Structure 1
Amino acid sequence: MSDDEIITRSDATGASLVPSSGRNPIEGWRVVLYYAFGMLAIATIGEVDDWTGPHLSLSLFYLVPISALAWRVGRTAGLSASVVAATAWYLADVADRVYPNGFYALWNGGVRLGVFLVVTVLLANLREALERERQLAALDPLTALPNRRAFFEAAQERLKSVRKQKLPIAIAFLDIDGFKGVNDHQGHASGDELLKEVAHSLRRVTRTRDLVARLGGDEFVVLLTEADAEVTDALIRRMDEALIEGARRGGWPVSFSIGRVVFDEVPADIDAMVHAADAQMYGLKRQRAALRSQPD
């Protein structure tokens, strides 16, 4: 496979690479199931409400399926359930109670609809706020890449998927040679800009299926899924070229050490992969140092 065949990533922040938890909004057939059970619950409550008559209020019970849909499926589902629940309550109410004025029934129905909608909006807003906090907690604040914890969680899930499909997988571990000198001589602000440039370069040249993260300090890692030795080597070349070009543009006197390991059989856990790539990177550093120390 040539370098031109490698699909580059278009995302700007890397936020989409953050691992999802089981509490994320659900998709696909599960949405249909939640809708079906939610609407069935509302219809059942409406029937019971009609059967018990005006002497027993069941308004609070409507909030259970409404809240479940708003929390698990999303705002739109909660709003839809609110309208259906308010309609069910209204039909049960007018069937069992004679109002001196039809406006009273509409008013009561409108008030209950308002309550249902307010609960839905509050729950949806809370859900979205919690999800934003979860996303932010999983990102490195400087580079907007997934942090160490987020990487290990997401990578472990990727390993399960790759193992089932029996696909090759590779990992690249890199650090910045001369990073301490940048901090010492150009200041920490310049060092931070260098780290952001590295993150940007890695995101730009890797594929959307790859997982890029900052482990801490000047250490970065890239998990390359569906990557054999040929694809991995092509990606490593792209990374190296992009990193060197970014450092040259920024005026940073640094180089990069990249250790990479390709696995035909997926290891049991991501720690073994990171350790192997880390060891290879430091092996390359030692070889380079040995060559520099040899007399001309």
Structure 2
Amino acid sequence: MYTTIHNKLFAYLEGKTKTYLLMAGYALVFLLAFIDYLTGELSFILFYLIPVFLVAWFVGKRSGLFICMSCSIASFIDKLLEHPASSPQFLHSWDFIIETSYLFMLGLMFSTLREKHDQEKKLARIDPLTRALNRRYLYELAEQEIYRSSRYNRSFTVAYIDLDNFKTVNDKKGHHVGDDLLCIVADTIQDNVRYADIVARIGGDEFVIILPETGAEHALSAITKLQGKLAAAMECRGWPVTFSIGMVTYNVPPESVDEMLKKADDLMYAVKSDNKNGLKHAIINEGQQHSDNQFEAKGWIKSNASFLLQGFKINPSTTIYLRKKENISRVNKNVKVRP
């Protein structure tokens, strides 16, 4: 019962603007000062903690200190009006100093606790090594994205990235190098996606990206570019790490986050079982699921073995480039290879 009331009250106050809460705080100070004046000898200093907490917690430290001063001044004026000449002046001054110090200390305590609370809440959502989001917070945001997609009929895309040969680097060069590698991967991903995109580390060497309101074509372009940036970051450091990516575009939202991730995870494992270092992309439409990766690199290599015999290599982005074409035979004429 208490927890329910507490959560509802705090959720209500968190939903209000800081200007609204600040005005409400000063209105409470005025109301308490008026009641304090009417009651005469009764002390109301404890009740002044209500506006102090409201402003210090929900608005900020500086505003909290101002509200503390306002409470002290209001209490001081009440005492002067109640006993204008009967009490020595130094007693009023002493009461003002004590009450001001008391309210200031509590105001600072409330605002500091709020800062610590926000910091702990943030740390609970972030992977401590890479500073990407963790699995728990990914699930929260993914649920919101599924709901938004269902409500507004908007597509979104999820990409599941696994690092190939990460264990080799970790074992041969040490865990500190492995940690640096993961941090570089996370930084590279975050530097090459939009601010609205969601980046999370959900396993030892597995990352997930959710691209809100992103259809198949734009998602494929963005993730292909990202794969190239990641490969370049590994190559310039001499790390033999590549990236297997499974990607799903949902034109119709999945039933759950687990289902959403499983489809992308299955595609990623299909890439890993097929020579790694690739990308498979599926599109989920209403009542059907089809893969956008009908044309595999392996089949192309078998049908063009003469190129390999002459020492040519297939560009890693070739299969992605070919997938965007409708006529495979026409694409084969335009494929470029690198020596």
- TM-score calculated relative to the size of structure 1: 0.84
For 1:272 and 1:110, the matched residues in 2 are separated by 62
CA displacement 1:90-110 (0-9 Å, x = unmatched): 221110013455454234223
CA distance, structure 2, for counterparts of residue 283 and residue 38 of structure 1: 59
Report whether the alignment pairs 1:64 with 2:76: no
Aligned: 1:150 with 2:137: yes
- The one of 122, 125, 128 equivalent to 1:135 is 122
In 2 relative to 1, CA 47–23 (structure 1 residues): closer, same or farther, beyond 3 Å? closer
CA distance in 1, matches of 2:22, 2:132: 35
For the pair 1:114 / 2:101, whether they are aligned, the reply is yes
Structure 1 residues 137-171: Cα deviation after superposition (integer angstroms, max 9, x where no partner): 22111111111112112222233334333321100
- Amino acid in structure 1 at the alignment position of 2:18: V
**Identical counterparts, % of pairs:** 32
Unmatched segments (≥5 aa) in structure 1:
1-21
Give the aligned partner of residue 91 of structure 1.
77
Q: In the alignment, which residue of structure 1 is the partner of 2:28?
A: 41
Match of 1:190 in 2: 177
Contact 2:149 2:252 survives alignment (8 Å): no
From 210, 214, 237, the equivalent of 1:227 is: 214
1:112 maps to a residue whose letter is E
How far has the Cα of 1:266 moved from its partner?
A: 2.1
Given that 2:14 and 2:58 are in contact with CA atoms closer than 8 Å, whether structure 1 keeps it comes out as no
Within 5 Å, which residues of 2 pair with 1:283-294? 283-288=270-275, 291=298
Alpha-carbon distance in structure 1 between the residues aligned to 2:169 and 2:264: 25
For residues 232 and 114 of structure 1, do their structure 2 counterparts lie closer, same or farther at Cα, with a shift above 3 Å needed?
Answer: same
Query: What is the distance in 1 between the residues matched to 2:145 and 2:65?
Result: 35
For the 8 Å contact 1:194–1:250, the answer to whether it is kept is no
Please, what is the CA RMSD of the aligned residues? 2.6
Q: Aligned AA for 1:72?
A: F
Taking CA–CA contacts closer than 8 Å with sequence separation of 6 or more, which of the two structures ends up with the larger relative contact order?
Answer: 1
Whose Rg is larger?
Answer: 2
Whether the aligned pair in 2 keeps the contact of 1:25 and 1:73 (CA below 8 Å) is: no
Change (3 A) 1:23 1:98: closer
Alpha-carbon contact 1:24-1:131 (below 8 Å) kept: no
Bigger shift: residues 247-256 or 38-47: 38-47
In the alignment, what sits opposite 2:232?
Answer: 245
Residue number in structure 2 paired with 1:80: 66
How many residue pairs match? The answer is 274
- Counterpart CA distance in 1 for 2:174 and 2:50 is 56
Shift of 1:209: 0.3
1:51 CA displacement: 0.7
| d(CA) in 2 for partners of 1:52, 1:24 | 34
Cα 1:39–1:226, aligned 2, differ >3 Å: closer, same or farther?
same
Structure 2 stretches of 5 or more lacking a match? 1-8, 277-296, 306-339
- 1:211-232 C-alpha deviation (Å, 9 max, x unpaired): 0010011100001011111110
Structure having the larger proportion of residues in helix: 1
CA distance in 2, matches of 1:246, 1:24: 43
> How far apart in 1 are the matches of 2:89 and 2:63?
30
Moved over 6 A (4+): 22-28
Deviations 1:70-112 (A, max 9, x none): 1222223322221221222122111001345545423422321
Tell me whether 280-289 or 180-189 shows the greater mean CA deviation.
Answer: 280-289
Deviations 1:30-51 (A, max 9, x none): 3233223322222221111101
Kindly indicate whether the alpha-carbon contact (under 8 Å) linking 2:25 and 2:52 is maintained by their aligned counterparts in 1. yes
